[in-house]
Structure 1
Amino acid sequence: MANTTIDAPRGLSWGSLAAPFLAIGRFLVLIAEASPKVRQLERLNTQSDAQLAARGLTRDGEVRRILGISAAV
């Protein structure tokens, strides 16, 4: 069985070059997840269609209400 070792070049690596962009991406995801609309959609996803129907609601209708989308004419 043979083992292969690859030495990384010294100095800057791709990981260190990408780190700021990854941090910015994580920050943007945190901002998006903190949105009240996202939290409402997450709560909606915890309910079954039967629970919504018992309240006289549809999943599509609630998504439209939360996102502020008017019904198609």
Structure 2
Amino acid sequence: MAQATTNTDFYPKAGVLTRISAWFWEAMATISENNPRLRRVRALQALSDAQLAELKIKREEIVHHVFKDVYYV
């Protein structure tokens, strides 16, 4: 005797607007994570305190240092 089964989705798929919204926010996150300034911040945060001292940057001033030409403080 032959038995046939079909695979069905047990979980309902998200609606079109939900999927578009998820794609949009994922794309925005990818764009922001690949920003050269944010990569520079991460690189400076990875340095030791001694290395930052050689660059004359305090750890708490890294973000201000990288974005100083964008924001007036």
TM-score interval (norm. to shorter): 0.5 to 0.7
Distance 2:55 2:45 in 1: 15
> Aligned pairs, how many?
60
Q: Return the TM-score normalized by structure 1.
A: 0.61
How far does residue 44 in structure 1 lie from its aligned partner after superposition? 1.0
How far does residue 49 in structure 1 lie from its aligned partner after superposition? 1.7
Structure 1 gaps of 5+ residues are 1-7
Q: Does 2:50 match 1:50?
A: yes
Q: Does 2:8 match 1:16?
A: no
Q: CA RMSD in A?
A: 2.3
| Structure 2 counterpart SS, 1:40 | helix
Structure 2 gaps of 5+ residues are 1-9
Q: Runs of at least 4 residues of structure 1 off by over 3 A?
A: none
Q: Return the TM-score normalized by structure 2.
A: 0.61
The sequence identity of aligned pairs, in percent, is 22
Q: How does 1:3-42 map to 2 (within 5 A)?
A: 13=12, 15-17=13-15, 18-42=18-42
Distance 2:56 2:20 in 1: 47
